[in-house]
Amino acid sequence: ARLEAKRDQKRIMSPKRQKDTFNTIKAVLNYAGEVGWLERNPFSSKALLDKLPRIETRSREQFTSEDLTALFSHPRFLGIRGTRDEAGTLKEGRFWVPLLRLFHGMRANEAASLLVCDVKKEDGIPFLWIRETDDGGNIVKGLKTQSSHRRIPIHSELVRIGFLNFVAEQRERSRDGFLFPEMTPNKQTGNRAKTFSQWFGRLVTKALGEDAVKFGKDFHSFRHAVTDCLRRSE
């Protein structure tokens, strides 16, 4: 910041980057307070947060029923089902993750990071356990927020399509315990959905055309659609 202040034409960070940087520093200072290095976190002041510029949000268009038909009937999507690696392990992450997102509104990395042991059954109801640990209590992945911890009953349509059969096979074959072992973590962020999200963007372009991405139709649109659907149903 001191170096930038010396420039004749100062460059200002975008509002989103300002807020992201603010939150990063705030998190570090929160930790400093927890371990006794600080009496209070100066970045916890709401007055300070209010000084940041507002982020202009762009409305995100949702997929129409015609869009969904085009996406999920596209050969690029359908051709994934049944693919296996050299060891015979099913590699269907790109098939199931969009469907998990469509029916449950899960975040991309939540779906991509599922463990085989995260698929459970209680009182005859199969569900997904969104958590950071495996059955042994070992932390093996991260979640975006504390409220992200939850149990999601698996949609009956996914059961009909064969999701539980896929899980049963992966339970026998998965080498690292992950439901979609082909979705490896990104080296910088650890996000297992990064490469998948890029692939899905290309699928949207192929199935719906360039304008679909331009107007905000992407993988996040599923999450917004599920939220709106639940809201309408109260």
What average pLDDT does this structure show over 32-44?
A: 91
Query: Residues 42-91: pLDDT tens digits?
Result: 888 888 888 888 876 655 577 777 888 999 999 999 999 988 878 777 78
CA geometry: angle 178, 99, 94, nearest 5 deg:
55
pTM (whole model) above 0.75 = no
pLDDT for residue 213 = 63
What average pLDDT does this structure show over 98-114?
A: 91
Other residues' Cβ atoms within 10 Å of the Cβ of residue 205: 15
pLDDT for residue 173 = 84
* 129 has a pLDDT exceeding 80: yes
pLDDT for residue 57 = 61
pLDDT for residue 70 = 92
Let me know: does 189 contact 106? Beta carbons within 8 Å. no
* Whole-number Å distance between alpha carbons of 222 and 225: 5
Averaged confidence pLDDT in the chain: 87
Closest CA to 193 of 115, 120, 93: 93
* Whole-number Å distance between alpha carbons of 178 and 184: 10
List of residues 6+ apart from 98 with CB closer than 8 A: 71, 72, 77, 200, 219, 222
Closest CA to 100 of 41, 152, 137: 152
